[in-house]
Amino acid sequence: MDFLNAIVALMNFVIVPATAYGAQLALGALGVTLIYGILRFSNFAHGDTMAFGTMVTIFGTWGLQSMGVSFGPLPTALLALPLGIAVTALLMIGTDRLVYRFYRKQRAKSVIFVIASLGVMFIMNGIVRFFIGVDDQRFSDGERFIISARTFRELTGLDEGLAFRTTQGITIVVAIVAMILLFWFLNRTRTGKSMRAFSDNEDLALLSGINPERAVLITWIIVAALTTTAGVLYGLDKSFKPFTYFQLLLPIFAAAIVGGLGNPLGAILGGFLIAFSEVGVTYAFRKVVGYLGPADWQPEGLLQLLSTDYKFAVSFGILIIVLLFRPTGIMKGKLL
Protein backbone atom coordinates (compact mmCIF):
# COMPACT_ATOMS: atom_id res chain seq x y z
CA MET A 1 0.00 0.00 0.00
CA ASP A 2 1.35 3.34 -0.91
CA PHE A 3 -1.43 5.76 -0.38
CA LEU A 4 0.44 9.03 -0.86
CA ASN A 5 1.94 8.05 -4.19
CA ALA A 6 -1.44 6.92 -5.44
CA ILE A 7 -2.97 10.26 -4.55
CA VAL A 8 -0.14 12.17 -6.15
CA ALA A 9 -0.39 10.11 -9.33
CA LEU A 10 -4.12 10.69 -9.42
CA MET A 11 -3.62 14.42 -8.88
CA ASN A 12 -0.97 14.62 -11.55
CA PHE A 13 -2.75 12.73 -14.29
CA VAL A 14 -6.42 13.29 -13.55
CA ILE A 15 -7.33 16.00 -11.13
CA VAL A 16 -5.04 18.84 -12.19
CA PRO A 17 -5.48 18.42 -15.97
CA ALA A 18 -9.22 17.88 -15.60
CA THR A 19 -9.59 20.99 -13.45
CA ALA A 20 -7.83 23.11 -16.05
CA TYR A 21 -9.81 21.56 -18.88
CA GLY A 22 -13.01 21.91 -16.90
CA ALA A 23 -12.35 25.62 -16.37
CA GLN A 24 -11.86 26.08 -20.11
CA LEU A 25 -15.04 24.17 -20.92
CA ALA A 26 -16.96 26.10 -18.28
CA LEU A 27 -15.96 29.43 -19.81
CA GLY A 28 -17.02 28.17 -23.23
CA ALA A 29 -20.28 26.80 -21.89
CA LEU A 30 -21.01 30.09 -20.14
CA GLY A 31 -20.91 31.78 -23.54
CA VAL A 32 -23.27 29.21 -25.05
CA THR A 33 -25.63 29.53 -22.13
CA LEU A 34 -25.67 33.34 -22.25
CA ILE A 35 -26.49 33.35 -25.95
CA TYR A 36 -29.19 30.80 -25.32
CA GLY A 37 -30.64 32.79 -22.46
CA ILE A 38 -30.77 36.15 -24.20
CA LEU A 39 -30.92 35.36 -27.92
CA ARG A 40 -32.60 31.97 -27.50
CA PHE A 41 -30.66 29.82 -29.91
CA SER A 42 -27.76 27.36 -29.85
CA ASN A 43 -24.83 29.07 -31.48
CA PHE A 44 -23.00 26.60 -33.69
CA ALA A 45 -20.36 29.19 -34.53
CA HIS A 46 -19.15 29.12 -30.94
CA GLY A 47 -16.11 26.91 -31.49
CA ASP A 48 -15.02 29.01 -34.42
CA THR A 49 -15.56 32.20 -32.45
CA MET A 50 -13.15 30.76 -29.91
CA ALA A 51 -10.70 30.05 -32.69
CA PHE A 52 -11.06 33.59 -34.05
CA GLY A 53 -10.46 35.25 -30.70
CA THR A 54 -7.47 33.04 -30.04
CA MET A 55 -6.07 33.81 -33.47
CA VAL A 56 -6.23 37.56 -32.87
CA THR A 57 -4.59 37.05 -29.49
CA ILE A 58 -1.83 34.99 -31.08
CA PHE A 59 -1.16 37.74 -33.62
CA GLY A 60 -1.06 40.22 -30.74
CA THR A 61 1.35 37.95 -28.88
CA TRP A 62 3.65 37.71 -31.86
CA GLY A 63 3.52 41.46 -32.27
CA LEU A 64 4.45 42.02 -28.62
CA GLN A 65 7.19 39.41 -28.78
CA SER A 66 8.71 41.01 -31.85
CA MET A 67 8.76 44.33 -29.97
CA GLY A 68 10.57 42.57 -27.17
CA VAL A 69 7.73 42.92 -24.67
CA SER A 70 7.27 40.04 -22.27
CA PHE A 71 5.22 39.38 -19.18
CA GLY A 72 8.03 37.97 -17.06
CA PRO A 73 7.25 34.43 -15.98
CA LEU A 74 3.70 34.66 -17.34
CA PRO A 75 2.79 34.05 -20.99
CA THR A 76 2.79 37.17 -23.17
CA ALA A 77 -0.57 36.05 -24.55
CA LEU A 78 -2.23 37.36 -21.38
CA LEU A 79 -1.11 40.88 -22.36
CA ALA A 80 -2.55 40.40 -25.83
CA LEU A 81 -5.82 38.96 -24.51
CA PRO A 82 -7.63 42.34 -24.21
CA LEU A 83 -6.87 42.99 -27.87
CA GLY A 84 -8.28 39.60 -28.81
CA ILE A 85 -11.41 40.27 -26.78
CA ALA A 86 -11.90 43.71 -28.31
CA VAL A 87 -11.54 42.54 -31.90
CA THR A 88 -13.78 39.52 -31.29
CA ALA A 89 -16.39 41.74 -29.66
CA LEU A 90 -16.38 44.00 -32.72
CA LEU A 91 -16.76 40.97 -34.96
CA MET A 92 -19.62 39.60 -32.85
CA ILE A 93 -21.45 42.92 -32.89
CA GLY A 94 -20.91 43.20 -36.62
CA THR A 95 -22.23 39.67 -37.14
CA ASP A 96 -25.25 40.48 -35.05
CA ARG A 97 -25.97 43.63 -37.06
CA LEU A 98 -25.51 41.91 -40.41
CA VAL A 99 -27.03 38.51 -39.68
CA TYR A 100 -28.95 37.89 -36.51
CA ARG A 101 -30.74 41.20 -36.00
CA PHE A 102 -32.80 40.70 -39.13
CA TYR A 103 -34.18 37.40 -37.85
CA ARG A 104 -34.75 38.88 -34.41
CA LYS A 105 -36.92 41.60 -35.95
CA GLN A 106 -38.80 38.91 -37.84
CA ARG A 107 -39.16 36.90 -34.67
CA ALA A 108 -37.95 33.89 -36.64
CA LYS A 109 -37.92 30.42 -35.10
CA SER A 110 -34.81 29.50 -33.15
CA VAL A 111 -33.86 26.88 -35.72
CA ILE A 112 -33.47 29.64 -38.33
CA PHE A 113 -30.97 31.34 -36.04
CA VAL A 114 -29.16 28.02 -35.75
CA ILE A 115 -28.94 27.70 -39.54
CA ALA A 116 -27.73 31.28 -39.78
CA SER A 117 -25.10 30.43 -37.19
CA LEU A 118 -23.98 27.58 -39.46
CA GLY A 119 -23.33 30.19 -42.14
CA VAL A 120 -21.42 32.32 -39.66
CA MET A 121 -19.48 29.22 -38.64
CA PHE A 122 -18.39 28.63 -42.24
CA ILE A 123 -17.29 32.24 -42.65
CA MET A 124 -15.37 32.41 -39.37
CA ASN A 125 -13.74 29.08 -40.10
CA GLY A 126 -12.75 30.46 -43.48
CA ILE A 127 -11.39 33.68 -41.97
CA VAL A 128 -9.31 31.82 -39.41
CA ARG A 129 -7.88 29.46 -41.99
CA PHE A 130 -7.29 32.37 -44.32
CA PHE A 131 -5.22 34.33 -41.81
CA ILE A 132 -3.40 31.73 -39.75
CA GLY A 133 -3.75 28.48 -41.69
CA VAL A 134 -4.78 25.06 -40.44
CA ASP A 135 -1.60 24.07 -38.62
CA ASP A 136 -0.85 23.73 -34.95
CA GLN A 137 0.40 26.92 -33.30
CA ARG A 138 2.13 27.04 -29.94
CA PHE A 139 2.26 30.48 -28.42
CA SER A 140 2.96 29.80 -24.78
CA ASP A 141 6.09 31.42 -23.35
CA GLY A 142 7.43 32.38 -19.95
CA GLU A 143 7.97 29.93 -17.12
CA ARG A 144 6.77 26.43 -18.01
CA PHE A 145 6.10 25.06 -14.54
CA ILE A 146 4.92 26.33 -11.21
CA ILE A 147 6.12 23.02 -9.76
CA SER A 148 7.83 20.55 -12.03
CA ALA A 149 7.61 16.82 -11.42
CA ARG A 150 11.28 16.71 -10.48
CA THR A 151 11.13 19.56 -7.96
CA PHE A 152 8.10 17.93 -6.39
CA ARG A 153 9.88 14.61 -6.06
CA GLU A 154 12.92 16.26 -4.52
CA LEU A 155 10.79 18.28 -2.13
CA THR A 156 8.62 15.43 -0.90
CA GLY A 157 10.80 12.37 -1.46
CA LEU A 158 7.91 10.53 -3.09
CA ASP A 159 8.31 8.31 -6.16
CA GLU A 160 5.56 10.05 -8.07
CA GLY A 161 5.99 13.57 -9.35
CA LEU A 162 3.30 16.18 -9.44
CA ALA A 163 3.72 18.65 -12.26
CA PHE A 164 1.71 21.84 -12.10
CA ARG A 165 2.16 23.81 -15.26
CA THR A 166 1.96 27.60 -15.34
CA THR A 167 -0.73 27.41 -17.98
CA GLN A 168 -2.85 25.21 -15.75
CA GLY A 169 -2.46 27.60 -12.84
CA ILE A 170 -3.27 30.58 -15.03
CA THR A 171 -6.28 28.81 -16.47
CA ILE A 172 -7.74 28.17 -13.06
CA VAL A 173 -7.03 31.67 -11.72
CA VAL A 174 -8.28 33.47 -14.83
CA ALA A 175 -11.38 31.33 -15.02
CA ILE A 176 -12.25 32.03 -11.40
CA VAL A 177 -11.74 35.77 -11.92
CA ALA A 178 -13.87 35.73 -15.05
CA MET A 179 -16.65 33.82 -13.33
CA ILE A 180 -16.66 36.14 -10.31
CA LEU A 181 -16.82 39.15 -12.62
CA LEU A 182 -19.67 37.60 -14.60
CA PHE A 183 -21.74 36.74 -11.55
CA TRP A 184 -21.09 40.12 -10.01
CA PHE A 185 -22.26 41.70 -13.24
CA LEU A 186 -25.38 39.57 -13.57
CA ASN A 187 -26.44 39.83 -9.95
CA ARG A 188 -25.28 43.25 -8.81
CA THR A 189 -25.39 45.67 -11.72
CA ARG A 190 -28.48 47.20 -13.21
CA THR A 191 -27.64 46.05 -16.73
CA GLY A 192 -26.96 42.52 -15.55
CA LYS A 193 -30.23 42.38 -13.69
CA SER A 194 -32.09 43.64 -16.72
CA MET A 195 -30.44 40.92 -18.79
CA ARG A 196 -31.60 38.29 -16.34
CA ALA A 197 -35.07 39.72 -16.45
CA PHE A 198 -35.01 39.66 -20.24
CA SER A 199 -33.91 36.04 -20.22
CA ASP A 200 -36.52 35.06 -17.68
CA ASN A 201 -39.54 36.67 -19.30
CA GLU A 202 -39.04 38.60 -22.49
CA ASP A 203 -42.48 40.22 -22.66
CA LEU A 204 -42.45 41.34 -19.07
CA ALA A 205 -38.96 42.73 -19.49
CA LEU A 206 -40.01 44.69 -22.58
CA LEU A 207 -43.01 46.03 -20.72
CA SER A 208 -40.84 47.33 -17.93
CA GLY A 209 -38.81 49.31 -20.43
CA ILE A 210 -35.73 47.14 -20.87
CA ASN A 211 -34.10 47.84 -24.20
CA PRO A 212 -33.66 44.44 -25.86
CA GLU A 213 -31.05 45.66 -28.35
CA ARG A 214 -28.89 46.87 -25.48
CA ALA A 215 -29.21 43.53 -23.70
CA VAL A 216 -28.22 41.76 -26.90
CA LEU A 217 -25.28 44.08 -27.51
CA ILE A 218 -23.90 43.53 -24.03
CA THR A 219 -24.45 39.79 -24.32
CA TRP A 220 -22.29 39.65 -27.43
CA ILE A 221 -19.53 41.65 -25.72
CA ILE A 222 -19.55 39.34 -22.70
CA VAL A 223 -19.66 36.29 -24.94
CA ALA A 224 -16.69 37.60 -26.90
CA ALA A 225 -14.76 38.04 -23.65
CA LEU A 226 -15.69 34.57 -22.38
CA THR A 227 -15.02 32.69 -25.59
CA THR A 228 -11.74 34.45 -26.34
CA THR A 229 -10.54 33.82 -22.81
CA ALA A 230 -11.58 30.18 -23.00
CA GLY A 231 -9.90 29.78 -26.38
CA VAL A 232 -6.65 31.44 -25.33
CA LEU A 233 -6.48 29.40 -22.13
CA TYR A 234 -7.11 26.18 -24.04
CA GLY A 235 -4.49 27.17 -26.61
CA LEU A 236 -1.92 27.98 -23.92
CA ASP A 237 -2.63 24.74 -22.11
CA LYS A 238 -2.58 22.54 -25.19
CA SER A 239 -2.09 24.14 -28.58
CA PHE A 240 -4.06 26.15 -31.11
CA LYS A 241 -5.48 24.28 -34.07
CA PRO A 242 -8.63 25.54 -35.79
CA PHE A 243 -10.15 22.11 -36.27
CA THR A 244 -9.69 21.15 -32.61
CA TYR A 245 -11.56 24.29 -31.66
CA PHE A 246 -14.39 23.37 -33.96
CA GLN A 247 -14.56 19.98 -32.27
CA LEU A 248 -14.69 21.59 -28.83
CA LEU A 249 -18.24 22.54 -29.76
CA LEU A 250 -19.48 19.14 -28.66
CA PRO A 251 -18.12 19.03 -25.08
CA ILE A 252 -19.01 22.72 -24.63
CA PHE A 253 -22.60 22.15 -25.74
CA ALA A 254 -22.75 19.03 -23.62
CA ALA A 255 -21.55 21.03 -20.62
CA ALA A 256 -24.12 23.77 -21.18
CA ILE A 257 -27.00 21.33 -21.65
CA VAL A 258 -25.99 19.01 -18.84
CA GLY A 259 -25.83 21.98 -16.51
CA GLY A 260 -29.14 23.31 -17.78
CA LEU A 261 -29.18 25.59 -20.84
CA GLY A 262 -29.49 29.23 -19.85
CA ASN A 263 -28.22 28.66 -16.33
CA PRO A 264 -24.70 30.07 -15.77
CA LEU A 265 -24.05 28.14 -12.58
CA GLY A 266 -25.11 25.00 -14.38
CA ALA A 267 -22.71 25.74 -17.23
CA ILE A 268 -19.79 25.82 -14.80
CA LEU A 269 -20.93 22.65 -13.09
CA GLY A 270 -21.46 20.99 -16.45
CA GLY A 271 -18.02 22.04 -17.67
CA PHE A 272 -16.29 20.39 -14.74
CA LEU A 273 -18.52 17.33 -14.85
CA ILE A 274 -17.74 16.75 -18.53
CA ALA A 275 -14.03 17.42 -18.07
CA PHE A 276 -13.64 15.09 -15.10
CA SER A 277 -15.60 12.32 -16.79
CA GLU A 278 -13.66 12.69 -20.01
CA VAL A 279 -10.27 12.57 -18.31
CA GLY A 280 -11.34 9.98 -15.74
CA VAL A 281 -12.86 7.55 -18.20
CA THR A 282 -9.98 7.73 -20.66
CA TYR A 283 -7.18 7.60 -18.07
CA ALA A 284 -5.43 4.27 -17.52
CA PHE A 285 -5.69 3.70 -13.77
CA ARG A 286 -3.10 0.95 -13.70
CA LYS A 287 -0.46 2.99 -11.87
CA VAL A 288 -2.83 4.39 -9.25
CA VAL A 289 -4.33 1.00 -8.47
CA GLY A 290 -0.86 -0.52 -8.46
CA TYR A 291 0.17 1.78 -5.61
CA LEU A 292 -2.92 0.84 -3.65
CA GLY A 293 -2.30 -2.90 -3.88
CA PRO A 294 0.48 -4.85 -2.16
CA ALA A 295 4.08 -3.91 -2.89
CA ASP A 296 5.54 -4.96 -6.26
CA TRP A 297 2.08 -5.70 -7.57
CA GLN A 298 0.68 -4.26 -10.74
CA PRO A 299 -2.79 -5.01 -12.04
CA GLU A 300 -2.85 -6.72 -15.40
CA GLY A 301 -4.26 -4.57 -18.15
CA LEU A 302 -4.31 -0.81 -18.26
CA LEU A 303 -7.56 -0.37 -16.32
CA GLN A 304 -8.62 2.14 -18.91
CA LEU A 305 -12.36 2.25 -19.49
CA LEU A 306 -12.18 3.73 -22.98
CA SER A 307 -9.31 4.66 -25.25
CA THR A 308 -8.61 8.40 -25.43
CA ASP A 309 -9.92 8.51 -28.97
CA TYR A 310 -13.39 8.00 -27.60
CA LYS A 311 -13.40 11.08 -25.42
CA PHE A 312 -16.26 12.53 -27.46
CA ALA A 313 -18.27 9.47 -26.61
CA VAL A 314 -17.96 10.40 -22.94
CA SER A 315 -19.43 13.87 -23.25
CA PHE A 316 -22.02 12.46 -25.56
CA GLY A 317 -22.93 9.62 -23.20
CA ILE A 318 -23.40 12.01 -20.28
CA LEU A 319 -25.45 14.28 -22.50
CA ILE A 320 -27.77 11.46 -23.52
CA ILE A 321 -28.18 10.21 -19.95
CA VAL A 322 -29.06 13.69 -18.72
CA LEU A 323 -31.42 14.32 -21.63
CA LEU A 324 -33.22 11.06 -21.02
CA PHE A 325 -33.59 11.34 -17.27
CA ARG A 326 -33.53 15.06 -16.60
CA PRO A 327 -34.10 17.04 -19.80
CA THR A 328 -33.77 20.43 -18.12
CA GLY A 329 -30.25 19.64 -16.93
CA ILE A 330 -28.80 19.25 -13.47
CA MET A 331 -29.60 22.80 -12.48
CA LYS A 332 -32.92 23.83 -13.87
CA GLY A 333 -32.30 25.43 -17.25
CA LYS A 334 -33.81 28.40 -19.03
CA LEU A 335 -33.12 31.13 -16.55
CA LEU A 336 -30.20 33.45 -16.29
Partner 1 sequence: MNPSAAPSTPASTPARTSQRFDPKILMLFGFVAMLYVGTGFVQSWNTALTIFNMGLVGSIMALGVNMQWGYAGLFNVGVMGFVALGGLATVLVSVEPVPEAWSAGGLRTMLGLVLGALTIVGAILLWNAMPKGRLRGLVMFVVLVAGFTVFRRVFDGGTAAIEAIDPASTGFLGGLGLPILLAWPVGGLLAAGGAWIIGKTALGLRSDYLAIATLGIAEIIIAVLKNEDWLARGVKNVTGIARPVPYEIDLQANEGFLNLVTNIGADPITASTITVKLLYAALFIVVLGILIWLSEKAWNSPWGRMMRAIRDNEVSASAMGKDVKKRHLQIFILGSAVCGIAGAMMTTLDAQLVPGTYQPLRFTFLIWVMVIVGGSGNNWGAVLGGFLIWWLWVQVEPLGLLLMQGLTASMADGFWLREHLLDSAAHMRLLTMGMILLLVLRFSPRGLIPER
Residues that bind partner 1 (CB under 8 A): 41-42, 44, 99, 102-103, 106, 108-112, 114-116, 118-127, 129-131, 133, 246-247, 249-250, 253-254, 257, 261, 305, 307, 309-310, 312-313, 315-316, 319-320, 323-324, 327
Nearer to partner 1, 145 or 310 (CB): 310
Nearer to partner 1, 129 or 238 (CB): 129
Nearer to partner 1, 123 or 335 (CB): 123
Q: Are 77 and 61 in contact (CB under 8 A)?
A: yes
> In angstroms, what is the minimal distance from the CB of 126 to partner 1?
3
Nearer to partner 1, 74 or 323 (CB): 323
> In angstroms, what is the minimal distance from the CB of 332 to partner 1?
15
In angstroms, the CA 331 to CA 231 distance is 25
> In angstroms, what is the minimal distance from the CB of 120 to partner 1?
7
Q: Give the CA distances from residue 41 to residues 36, 110, 112, 206, 266, in Å, rounded to whole numbers and listed in that order.
A: 5, 5, 9, 19, 17
Nearer to partner 1, 18 or 120 (CB): 120
Burial level of 294, CB count in 10 A (0-12/13-18/19+)?
A: exposed
> In angstroms, what is the minimal distance from the CB of 137 to partner 1?
15
In angstroms, the CA 336 to CA 321 distance is 24
> In angstroms, what is the minimal distance from the CB of 95 to partner 1?
10
Nearer to partner 1, 8 or 124 (CB): 124
In angstroms, the CA 57 to CA 296 distance is 49
Nearer to partner 1, 111 or 181 (CB): 111
> In angstroms, what is the minimal distance from the CB of 116 to partner 1?
6
> In angstroms, what is the minimal distance from the CB of 220 to partner 1?
17
